[in-house]
Structure 1
Amino acid sequence: MYSLPKIERFNQHVWLKYKLFNSVFITLPFDEIDNTGVLLPLFAEVCENGFKNTLSPKEIVETFATKYLENPSEQDKLDLMFRFIQYVERQIVLFDAIEDAAFPIVNNMEGRGSIRDMKEKADQRSKNQELVRFLNDFQVRTVLTAHPTQFYPGSVLGIITDLTEAIRVNNLVQIKELLAQLGKTPFIKKEKPTPFDEAVSLIWYLENVFYSTIGDMLQYLHKNIYKNHQMPKSIVNLGFWPGGDRDGNPFVTTEITLKVADRLRTSILKCYYIDIRKLKRKLTFKGVDTLLAEVEHKLYRSVFYSQGEIFITIQAFEETLQEIKKRVIEHHQSLYLDEIDLLLNKLAAFGFHFATLDIRQNSKIHRQVFEEIVQKMDVFPPHYISLSETEKIEILSNLSGNLTEKDVENEMTKSTIGSIHAMKTIQQKNGELGSNRYIISNNESALNVMETLSMFHLCGWNNPTVDIVPLFESVDDLQHADVIMEQLYANSAYKKHLESRNNVQTVMLGFSDGTKDGGYLMANWSIYKAKESLTIMSRKYGIKVLFFDGRGGPPARGGGKTHQFYASLGPSIENNQIQVTVQGQTISSNFGTLDACRYNLENLLSAGATNQLFSKGNNQLSDHDRAVVEQLSELSYEKYLQFKQHPKFIPYLEKMSTLNYYAKTNIGSRPSKRNKSEQLVFEELRAIPFVGSWSQLKQNVPGFFGVGTALQHFEQTNQWNKVVDLYKNSLFFKTLIENSMMALCKSFFPLTAYMRKDEEFGEFWQIIYDEFLETKRLLLKLSGYLELMENYPDGKASIQIREQIVLPLLTIQQYALIKINEIKKGRSEPDLLEVYEKLVTRSLFGNINASRNSA
């Protein structure tokens, strides 16, 4: 099977199957009008030829209507476009299911990046003991977030799962039935999901994918690397944000946080209960069966007959399993010992919490909260607000109290205090790992961290079993992160807190907002340098720093080939853990099936081993290389800032993109911007709608803008060889370039080429297009490729097929935006304005979901 090249395996098992099953799908009538499936391929062909002949989306729609429809009214055309959207959305689901089914065939599950490969490398190089020492001190933590980049309701997720399995075994009857069911199942959420709804959706992945995948991985390590000896508590673990991420989400309340934590606990106990029932069928031996029956009964009561009470402690559960193991070894010839060990490993990884529920809030909110707390509590001097940062930190270092929600009036203050008390409650019920991290987004100073720590003290939690995690996002904050942390390390109160946390400090670094703020190269380089300087500073104070990366799906948000980033980090960056956010379509594409989840988790684990064990020191950037990356970053930053400050930048996004429509999609519970003001303020705009709007335009600006200009400087000043050497020598830089190629590959400027004639935005569009062309030319020259992503032919093929599927959607969306602008300029009647706006919103969904391969 693996003897065929990867692209041939892709073509056989994905592309050919898609053509076959799509031909079945396209003939299915979903309503009383059965010619939609016949007309869609014709419309797709008109779109493709139209863009080749430089027609605008409006001209393409009119050409199609003239050629294939009989004197249609505008309403007739709109009705047909809505039906086209219905079909295209489902074609994307079909393609997703086919790719998922073919995943273990297209990808070598035991090849490079697998834990088997990691073990065999250690065997070959006599590094088995070093591998054990590495694993003893290393963790991979994937943190599931509810950021709105995918919208499938639970009913559709269920169909995708069933369809994937039917395709895997080529059950044609069932495939046709499921495609028919898919055609009749609504895709649209009529109401925004609550944070609890989002949590329930993601817990499905915990129960059905992560639970067994992580268990199997740990079992393999336990048997083959640790040789059945004691393993660390958890080499792979999970974090969770829905219900705890308060930043800019007014719908996350203390009640929701507690409710989500309860649901997580119930879910993991249910998983244990199912496993115990399976064990009970096998361990039917005297002296063992009674112990199992007792555990089963207690778990059953805790899951199905509980109002929050737990009828078995984690210690009692583990002790019983250990006793069962002992009896099986001593009296029953170690029968089914592997199954007992597997459950013990799962218990060690997931405890009674399943995933750690992180709490997150913005430093600006904390500032408002503190203004009220200062007024309400007499432990503050009357002039506190006007003091300097140093003076404030000195006062905050010595505070305590018994503050509760009843002591304050403002709802935001109540909610913030409530979240601290909720963390304590969750720890009592689910264990410390239930909720032991408080993340401060937009962290700009040491004061932000000390305010957070002091809030715990003011709420009566004097030695909080909680990690305070500053999140540095803007380029400026990233550049000063080490100075901020030194202030904290040198502070006696914070030092005492860190000692209670084993002198471990987690620092979060945000790719999404960094890219929005400083452009692609500067954001990535700033994060790399911040990690280096934070490593130096932390080592100086005897602190072990752990980096938590806020990454999205597309390269513009830190995604792309994520494991390659971690494999490329040199010894100057502390790399004891890989902690990364996973969201939206990245969850379903990278972790949505057992095969994909295993493959990607193993790749992350082996990336750490590659960096620290097998290639240690190989990825060290030389002073010369650093100088080149520095100059490239500065040049691209200048170009991006100039672009961002262009007077048409915000108006272009507001009038020519889908930015204002994200809030109407009901994808996620969060608003698309942090403030409530009518006017769009760039700083308050969330990274997801920002990056997503460029993606819908097929311009992908955050993934490449400034890169071409920076490279051009080296070409024009006869220094091109410096960039070539850097590309050859640095895996970090090579990964950056390859991910930028992906952003270019997913761009399609013929879609918006009509804008070059626009009286207001023509010049602005040309600036973007010129940078795209120059970036593409120089990336091809640098890599030596004839075409983008030449070294990932299967990934490129996947992107091309997906782009082909959504081309009708993109055309429809642009057609609607053109008509809306005509109405707003008084050039067309406003009767259908609401319908055109609905058309834009409806076409968003399919385009968003088709981007799953951006991860």
Structure 2
Amino acid sequence: MTSSTREQLRLEGFELIDENLRFLIDCLSDALRSLGETELLPYLPWSGSVPEEQPPEGTQQLYSIGFQLLNMVEERVAAAIRREREKTLGPESIRGLWPRALKDMSGLGLSPEEIIKVLGEVDVQPVLTAHPTEAKRSSVRERHRALYNELVRNEYPKYTERERRRIRERIVTSLETLWRTGEIHLVRPDLFRELRDAIHYLRDLFPAALNRLDLHFTEAWRDAGFPLESLRAAGNIPRLSFGTWIGGDRDGHPLVTPDVTATALKMLRNAALQLHARELEQLATQLTLTRQLNEVPEALDTRIDELAFVLGDEAAATDLHNRFQEEPWRHLVALMAARLRRQIDGHAGYPNPEALSKDIDLLSDSIRDSGCTLIEEQYLRPLRQKLDIFGFHLATLDVRQNSEFHDNAISQLLVAAGVPDGESYPSWPEEKRLEMLNRELQSPRPFLHDTASAGEQADLVLDAYRVLATHRRDHGQGLGALIVSMTRQLSDLLGVFLLAREAGLTESTPDGPVCPLEVVPLFETMDDLERAPGVLSDFLSHPLVKRRKSPEQQVMLGYSDSNKDCGILTAGWTLHRAQENLSAVAKEFGIKLRYFHGRGGTISRGAGPTHWFMAALPHGSLSGGFRMTEQGETIAQKYANLANATYHLELLLAGAAYTTASHSQPASQPDPADPLLPALSEASQQAYQMLLRTEGFIEFYREVTPIDALENSRIGSRPARRTGKKGHSIADLRAIPWVFSWTQARFYLPGWYGVGTALESLKQESPEKFDELKAALPHSTFLAYTLTNVETNLASANLDIMSDYAGLVGDDALRTKFMDMIVAEFERTRDLLAELFDGEMQGRRPRMAKTLEIREAPLRVLHRQQVELLRQWRGLVAAGKETDAEVMFPKLLLSINAISSGLRTTG
């Protein structure tokens, strides 16, 4: 790509953003006039100068909707510019997508056969979670989808003026509806509403995205000159599936009861059956092949008769016969869909996906035999692929619980079983814990009868595992892993096997009991990540794990708590080193590690462009299996519309494929920045932790950010704190509200603090090493990725707005002490990054500069309003006027939502 063409496309994109945004703001202006909200018209964002006087009621909602429109425009323009780039420079010019990935794999020296072998190893699974970061109601997102669809229609160049006027009128009507649709949760959403939102993506959006994704891959494969027959013979590769935590993640979430898990599994199963029934009904409209022109196999007619008989609804079977008897393929598909519909209602149906797959195979084989190979390729193969991906479970449900909760459950079991000193189990030394666990795990005999109660925590864990055991017996599919958050030692993992035995979630083998569900450590804090290789080695050596005879072990990494613990640079380096060391352990045992990356929605919690994230992984750490969390508002940002969903899924799959291929090759050279990073990491950690440990920091933090408002918000179903305590412990505070609160106040502090001190100490103590670091930067994927993310956080922060929030701190000395520290570190980090990168971000990253600049003026208004709202609300709370505080709280929530829309991020 030439620089002039790149610049031309960039400028074209900026013009398109401005043009489309003006159009939508004009439509919003018409909607406000229609609603009689004329006093807001002078305050419309991006429509000229804003009056100086105090904005009227409704400005927050106005700006929030304005930002939502801007976000839509940016998504559409990004897609349009990708299309123009492909037309001008070819599909291989777009980094991260299939054409470029296949070209780069060929560049590694791989033949098509070797690429197919790599693709067979690739198994990618996004996991949808319901952390409290999605501030918008689902009804608002429905309005967004309607607006987005009209925006897409408006791009068609051949519409008449009348047709364009109709589109504009529909957009104005949608904006009028959106204005009167409450934006925020005034009542905390329950888990099932969160799950229904996730099911919308899984059942209603991803299947259509998969059709496009498969087409993109097939076209890229053909265009590369590779044989399609070889690819088809390999089956459904690379593999994509989906997971979820909603209804299974009980870490600090007391509302996720065993009954909730059982209901979640049932909802997911029914949604999967609905998906396949819908797909079959759509397929039936295509299979209009008639008996008069096609030879009908006897097996097809026989199967039609069988399904009509077992359907259990004579009237429905007769109706389908009368309508489709001359179109046997359509008749069979209609019967298959009817059987699934009745199955959803509780009647007998297909016992498992394999039974449904046999009917699809009968369709495929008979259609292919009749010579209609294109019909089979375009309609039957995608159906088989969706059945393979979604099964009868839609998404696998992981169950996660904290190691401390497990310790308390085991303690209650030991006490109930009369084990001496069982009540002290959580504080037993590791040797004593392991001695008891190893002894007990040799026996299949439980401590207690399954009707006995040992205590609250024990009952909750055991009843949840019994739900899993029942589901596995009845349905087989749909269960993910048993994930242990805050894994610190081997006994944290072995304790899960003990609990599984107690609940009947183990199976007998000639070698001894086996847990059919994988037990997965989650390493989160800096100390835990450093201990992780030793824990994994001990775990893989244990007979219970070796008995599973699995060639793969999943390990989850926590990006959020590690960052909260030690800052962005140290967390990134600790995670990087942990993956290198964990991968070395796996190599010793001859197994593959499947990393589960617990990335959040913000850079401070592990977010960043997917293909750059993969490129920065330690060499050799990606062996095909890749899981990552998709949290809160990032789900809607990535997947709310078909084009964007397809793009992001393609980034995931193509990125995993190329990175797996690259990691299977010997490393070309060591990362030149590696020798310098230990000292940088240590200096950054010391600076970050010194700030957090400085006397008065918690008081300053709670006054300078809206953390108290977030703790009282109704954004998600899960509490902001693990134990329910408020105000006294950063350790107890979840990483999401920690980052969310700093983001709202425009500090973005967890995403950069400590980096400047680390760079300054290196430069002062060893100028030649600082020069080495600068020279290494373009050749170090890890360092470039990390420092670019730090730079993005710095650019998103705003010193003037920080100062406004600092005015909320009542103690002048406290405010001055911490603001002096923070501002000095901010300026230090900004200046040293500009030196390392040879220039300010605005000149090097014009797209990022544009997206920040266009938001800044309306954001400034919103921040100043929020500061005043916080001051008033806190005053009411302090005065004990709880009713008045509650009355004004929705305004504060709307303020939080509006700023989130403007920043495109929460926590």
Query: Is TM (by shorter chain) over 0.5?
Result: yes
Distance in 2 (CA, whole Å) between partners of 1:324 and 1:417 is: 44
Instruction: Say which is worse superposed, 843-852 or 796-805, in terms of deviation.
Output: 796-805
Of 760, 781, 797, the match for 1:747: 797
> Helix, strand or coil for the counterpart of 1:227?
helix
Instruction: Say which is worse superposed, 647-656 or 767-776, in terms of deviation.
Output: 647-656
Distance 1:691 1:411, change over 3 A: same
Question: 1:421-459, CA deviations, whole angstroms, 9 ceiling, x for partnerless residues?
Answer: 222233345433x01311111111110100012211222
Of 383, 391, 405, the match for 1:365: 405
Distance 1:623 1:301, change over 3 A: closer
Deviation at 1:599, TM superposition (A): 1.6
Instruction: Say which is worse superposed, 572-581 or 610-619, in terms of deviation.
Output: 610-619
Distance in 2 (CA, whole Å) between partners of 1:736 and 1:747 is: 17
Partner of 1:419: 464
Deviation at 1:823, TM superposition (A): 6.7
Instruction: Say which is worse superposed, 650-659 or 12-21, in terms of deviation.
Output: 12-21
What residue identity is the alignment partner of 2:153? V
Deviation at 1:516, TM superposition (A): 0.3
Partner of 1:251: 255
Distance in 2 (CA, whole Å) between partners of 1:832 and 1:305 is: 52
Distance in 2 (CA, whole Å) between partners of 1:653 and 1:540 is: 46
What residue identity is the alignment partner of 2:19? L
Instruction: Say which is worse superposed, 288-297 or 655-664, in terms of deviation.
Output: 288-297
Distance in 2 (CA, whole Å) between partners of 1:126 and 1:444 is: 41
Task: Give the conservation status (yes or no) of the 8 Å contact 1:262–1:308.
Answer: no
Distance in 2 (CA, whole Å) between partners of 1:309 and 1:416 is: 32
Trace 1:4-403 onto structure 2 (pairs within 5 A).
5-27=8-30, 28-29=32-33, 33-39=37-43, 64-65=53-54, 80-81=56-57, 83-108=58-83, 110=91, 111-122=94-105, 127-170=111-154, 171-218=167-214, 221=217, 224=221, 226-232=230-236, 235-285=239-289, 286=291, 287=296, 289-290=327-328, 292-303=330-341, 306-309=344-347, 311-312=349-350, 313-338=352-377, 339-377=379-417, 385=425, 386=428, 388-401=432-445
Task: Give the conservation status (yes or no) of the 8 Å contact 1:91–1:805.
Answer: no
Task: Give the conservation status (yes or no) of the 8 Å contact 1:276–1:292.
Answer: no
Task: Give the conservation status (yes or no) of the 8 Å contact 1:578–1:604.
Answer: no
Distance 1:215 1:430, change over 3 A: farther
Distance 1:726 1:307, change over 3 A: same
User: Under a length normalisation based on structure 1, what TM-score does the superposition of the two structures give?
Assistant: 0.90
Question: 1:242-296, CA deviations, whole angstroms, 9 ceiling, x for partnerless residues?
Answer: 1111111111122221222222222222222222122212222343654553453
Deviation at 1:405, TM superposition (A): 6.4
Task: Give the conservation status (yes or no) of the 8 Å contact 1:156–1:182.
Answer: yes
Partner of 2:553: 505
Matched, 1:801 2:854: yes
What residue identity is the alignment partner of 2:797? S
Deviation at 1:475, TM superposition (A): 0.2
Question: 1:606-658, CA deviations, whole angstroms, 9 ceiling, x for partnerless residues?
Answer: 32333343586686773763220111111100101101101222112222211
Of 822, 832, 835, the match for 1:768: 822
Distance in 2 (CA, whole Å) between partners of 1:831 and 1:264 is: 40
Distance 1:485 1:216, change over 3 A: same
Task: Give the conservation status (yes or no) of the 8 Å contact 1:101–1:165.
Answer: no
Partner of 2:655: 607
Deviation at 1:144, TM superposition (A): 0.6
Distance in 2 (CA, whole Å) between partners of 1:700 and 1:382 is: 45
Task: Give the conservation status (yes or no) of the 8 Å contact 1:166–1:174.
Answer: yes
Question: 1:662-695, CA deviations, whole angstroms, 9 ceiling, x for partnerless residues?
Answer: 1332111000001123443211100110000000
Distance in 2 (CA, whole Å) between partners of 1:428 and 1:829 is: 55
Distance 1:854 1:155, change over 3 A: closer
Task: Give the conservation status (yes or no) of the 8 Å contact 1:656–1:817.
Answer: no
What residue identity is the alignment partner of 1:845? N
Distance 1:296 1:372, change over 3 A: farther
Distance in 2 (CA, whole Å) between partners of 1:492 and 1:642 is: 44
Distance 1:33 1:138, change over 3 A: closer
Q: Percent identity?
A: 24
Task: Give the conservation status (yes or no) of the 8 Å contact 2:579–2:618.
Answer: no
Distance in 2 (CA, whole Å) between partners of 1:652 and 1:477 is: 29
Distance in 1 (CA, whole Å) between partners of 2:592 and 2:405 is: 29
Instruction: Say which is worse superposed, 577-586 or 841-850, in terms of deviation.
Output: 841-850
Distance 1:710 1:605, change over 3 A: same
Deviation at 1:848, TM superposition (A): 2.1
Question: 1:536-574, CA deviations, whole angstroms, 9 ceiling, x for partnerless residues?
Answer: 112112222111110012110000223212122343424
Distance 1:384 1:665, change over 3 A: closer
Distance in 2 (CA, whole Å) between partners of 1:211 and 1:147 is: 24
Deviation at 1:771, TM superposition (A): 0.8
Deviation at 1:174, TM superposition (A): 1.4
Task: Give the conservation status (yes or no) of the 8 Å contact 2:409–2:458.
Answer: yes
Deviation at 1:767, TM superposition (A): 1.0
Distance 1:382 1:829, change over 3 A: closer
Distance in 2 (CA, whole Å) between partners of 1:723 and 1:690 is: 31
Tell me the C-alpha RMSD between the 2 structures: 3.0
Distance 1:458 1:42, change over 3 A: closer
Distance in 1 (CA, whole Å) between partners of 2:825 and 2:669 is: 28
What residue identity is the alignment partner of 1:395? R
Distance in 2 (CA, whole Å) between partners of 1:97 and 1:623 is: 39
Trace 1:264-663 onto structure 2 (pairs within 5 A).
264-285=268-289, 286=291, 287=296, 289-290=327-328, 292-303=330-341, 306-309=344-347, 311-312=349-350, 313-338=352-377, 339-377=379-417, 385=425, 386=428, 388-401=432-445, 406-408=451-453, 410-432=455-477, 434-460=478-504, 461-462=506-507, 463-497=514-548, 499=549, 502-614=550-662, 622=670, 625-663=673-711
> Helix, strand or coil for the counterpart of 2:242?
strand
Deviation at 1:142, TM superposition (A): 0.7
Distance in 2 (CA, whole Å) between partners of 1:176 and 1:99 is: 19
What residue identity is the alignment partner of 1:106? I
Task: Give the conservation status (yes or no) of the 8 Å contact 1:153–1:187.
Answer: yes
Distance 1:424 1:291, change over 3 A: farther
Partner of 2:898: 846
Task: Give the conservation status (yes or no) of the 8 Å contact 2:45–2:66.
Answer: no
Distance 1:735 1:6, change over 3 A: farther
Task: Give the conservation status (yes or no) of the 8 Å contact 2:284–2:333.
Answer: no
Distance 1:17 1:304, change over 3 A: farther
User: Under a length normalisation based on structure 2, what TM-score does the superposition of the two structures give?
Assistant: 0.85
Partner of 1:732: 782
> Helix, strand or coil for the counterpart of 2:774?
helix
Distance 1:370 1:831, change over 3 A: closer
What residue identity is the alignment partner of 1:419? A
What residue identity is the alignment partner of 2:818? F
Deviation at 1:762, TM superposition (A): 1.8
Equivalences, count: 820
Task: Give the conservation status (yes or no) of the 8 Å contact 1:146–1:198.
Answer: yes
Q: Give ranges in structure 2 of 5+ residues lacking alignment.
A: 155-166, 222-227, 301-326, 508-513
Distance 1:680 1:298, change over 3 A: farther
Task: Give the conservation status (yes or no) of the 8 Å contact 1:474–1:514.
Answer: yes
What residue identity is the alignment partner of 1:196? F
Deviation at 1:182, TM superposition (A): 1.0
Distance in 2 (CA, whole Å) between partners of 1:143 and 1:258 is: 19
Instruction: Say which is worse superposed, 623-632 or 191-200, in terms of deviation.
Output: 623-632
Instruction: Say which is worse superposed, 843-852 or 580-589, in terms of deviation.
Output: 843-852
Task: Give the conservation status (yes or no) of the 8 Å contact 1:714–1:723.
Answer: no
